[in-house]
Amino acid sequence: MKVGIAQFSMSNELLDNQNKAINVIENLSDKGAELIILPELFATPYFCQTEDPKNFFYAETIPGNFTDQLSEIAKKRNVCIVASLFEKSEPSIFFNTVAYISPFGLLGKYRKTHIPDDPKYYEKFYFAPGNLGYKVFPCKDELIGTLICWDQWFPEAARISALLGAKVLVYPTAIGWHPDEKDEIGSKQLHAWLNVQRGHAIANGVFVVTVNRIGFEANSLGDGIEFWGNSFVVNPYGEIMHQSQSDMEDYIVIDLDLAILEEFRSGWPFFRDRRVDLYSEILKLSSD
């Protein structure tokens, strides 16, 4: 499967970001991509840095005008698209949602399960926790597991997606450095982010593809986030097949040999050796 990575920066203009994404999809399609992954909330600035009701203006329905436009492109280009969007549901409920679009149209949605609430990542103000469960979608006769950003820190999300049949886990992402922390712990944060996802690939015998934003995005308080890029592809052995730079846009197609997964899973049968009879403790939020 040929997977297209679309790492780029965003502006404050919704239409500009949408047009940029369309150009990127066409660019990657010309390079032979069959599956194209866009960054988290690529159609907007990362508005979650502050709690401002005005930002609900960015939300859109799914399906809607933009997903209809993406569906036309997917059909014309014969590609699958992972599009993370700010979804307005009814009645006045909002989600951080992946619209999964194939040459046959909008196949379905995944709504971000784990919602952070940290300085400059005030997502609980905007997004309800996902209510659709974990999802896998077909691309070229294989199954893709769609997760979003903060989900990437939780092994349960990766494991369940793999158990549902996913051979590739994709994570549209918006993560970066607080400028006042970067010098002290920025490198440690980046390495932790890379390594936890490499572990998901190994433990589940899957490819992992993570696509991040880049660029400094200011907020209304005079501060901001420097999104650290470093979009990457990792194979089931945890080897990094490609890693983007932290400060440059990157549009590249990586060919994944999915045939190696059967050999990997046969040699390291982690699914076989699970002790599901002993895992009930994981259903508790605490040990109390």
Domain boundaries, the chain: 2-283
- One-letter identity of residue 68: D
CA-to-CA distance for 217 and 47, rounded, in angstroms? 9
pLDDT score of 252 more than 80: yes
Q: Give the pLDDT of residue 92.
A: 85
Instruction: Quick: pLDDT tens for 12-63.
Output: 999 999 999 999 999 999 999 999 999 999 999 999 999 999 999 999 999 9
pLDDT score of 72 more than 90: yes
Q: Give the pLDDT of residue 90.
A: 82
Q: Give the pLDDT of residue 247.
A: 94
184-205 average pLDDT score? 98
Parallel, antiparallel or unpaired: strands 35-37 and 2-7: parallel
pLDDT score of 69 more than 80: yes
| Rounded (5°) CA angle 58-76-166 | 70
pLDDT score of 287 more than 90: no
Parallel, antiparallel or unpaired: strands 168-172 and 142-146: parallel
Q: Which fold has domain 2-283?
A: Nitrilase/N-carbamoyl-D-aminoacid amidohydrolase (3.60.110)
51 Cβ contact partners less than 8 Å away, ≥ 6 residues apart: 122, 125
Instruction: Quick: pLDDT tens for 120-147.
Output: 999 999 999 999 999 999 998 999 999 9
Given a contact cutoff of 8 angstroms between Cβ atoms, the answer to whether 229 and 57 are in contact is no
pLDDT score of 267 more than 90: yes
CA distances from 246 to 124, 214, 215, 231, 251 (A): 27, 7, 9, 8, 13
Q: Give the pLDDT of residue 66.
A: 97
Q: Give the pLDDT of residue 288.
A: 72
CA-to-CA distance for 56 and 95, rounded, in angstroms? 11
Q: Give the pLDDT of residue 222.
A: 81
236-249 average pLDDT score? 97
Please tell me whether residue 279 adopts helix, strand or coil conformation. coil
96-125 average pLDDT score? 97
Please tell me whether residue 251 adopts helix, strand or coil conformation. strand
Q: Give the pLDDT of residue 236.
A: 98
Catalytic residues: 40, 112, 149
CA-to-CA distance for 11 and 215, rounded, in angstroms? 10
Q: Give the pLDDT of residue 186.
A: 96
CA-to-CA distance for 264 and 272, rounded, in angstroms? 13
pLDDT band at 91 (very low <50, low <70, confident <90, very high): confident
pLDDT, averaged across the chain: 96
Instruction: Quick: pLDDT tens for 202-238.
Output: 999 999 999 999 999 998 888 999 999 999 999 999 9
Burial (CB count within 10 angstroms: exposed 0-12, middle 13-18, buried 19+), residue 186 = middle
